[in-house]
Amino acid sequence: MTPDYAAILATIHAEVQPLLSEGKVASYIPQLSTVAVDQFGMALYCLDGSTYEVGAAQQKFSLQSITKLFALALAFSREGDAIWARVGREPSGNPFNSLVQLEYERGKPRNPFINAGALVMTDILSTRFVQSDVAVLQFARSIAAEAGIDFDLTVAQSERETAHRNYAIAHLMKDFGNLHNPVSTVIDSYCRQCSISMTCAELAKAGSFLAQHGTVPWSGLQILDRSSAKRLNALMLTCGTYDAAGDFAYRVGLPAKSGVGGGILALVPGELAVAVWSPGLDATGNSLAGTYALERFTTLTARSIF
């Protein structure tokens, strides 16, 4: 029986209100610190084409690390398993911008969703495309069927000006031979990629191909084969929410990718994609209200992968 999604979203919207003032917006990227914390939006894109929204589901926000998922999907669709020679598939257990583990493991990032792994994906795409950030943007536009999706260049500039740790990560990998393009090229592209902005409604639609086993549900375009989509879903579950992935799997029970802009994209394979946005973050960099909303969603719908 199909849940009453409209009623469930309305319930969640009411329940999260007390949480909206508890999180803290990301401050290490100055432009993100200007976003009002007390905002919340949530949207579903079901594989039959039906959609549901609540709150600020039409408000644009910076995807930040959620774009790592699209970059990975694009690189995997072009390069296949060859990418795993340069990046691992294990949870890091460390902050997403840590250098310690990277030094110890000789420049091979643990997974594609920490910053080091995402920079390797940017490097791979920079070799294949003239501008990797534009390639990721065009990919996002195509899977969301929305030509208006774009970079937020103010966010990109703010991120570029404070990218000292990412520069350190990139130079370290360059020293180990795991970055093939110039560091400045990779960092510039990565900062623009992270600034891509969407609404919850657009993000849920864009992510729906991973709920549909690699095929865009509204067009039939195959982005990944079924096996590859399964692998990306597994990586989302184990690595997609920073070093809180275990707790997130325990509480929510869905493959997901979060970003410090306050967004989270989650999947119910075979049924739907759900996107939530609230810019107040918890201590691990995940949206505080967004994580709670997804936990309530899986409880109220009895939908999870477990």
| Residue 48 contacts residue 246 (beta carbons within 8 Å) | no
**52 catalytic per annotation:** no
**183 catalytic per annotation:** no
Q: d(Cα 236, Cα 245) in Å, to the nearest integer?
A: 9
Q: d(Cα 123, Cα 117) in Å, to the nearest integer?
A: 10
Q: Looking at 16, 37, 87, 260, which residue is catalytic?
A: 260
* Cα 261–Cα 265–Cα 266 angle in degrees, nearest 5: 145
Q: Looking at 87, 242, 252, 274, which residue is catalytic?
A: 242
Structure tokens at 258: 């979060």
Q: Looking at 16, 52, 68, 155, which residue is catalytic?
A: 68
**186 catalytic per annotation:** no
**98 catalytic per annotation:** no
Phi-psi region of 90 (alpha: psi -120 to 50; beta: other; left: phi over 0): beta
**242 catalytic per annotation:** yes
Q: Looking at 5, 16, 54, 65, which residue is catalytic?
A: 65
| Residue 151 contacts residue 195 (beta carbons within 8 Å) | yes
Q: Looking at 190, 195, 252, 278, which residue is catalytic?
A: 190
Phi and psi angles of residue 94, each rounded to the nearest 5 degrees, phi first: -125, 165
Q: d(Cα 175, Cα 171) in Å, to the nearest integer?
A: 6
Q: Would you name the residues annotated as active-site residues?
A: 65, 68, 190, 242, 260
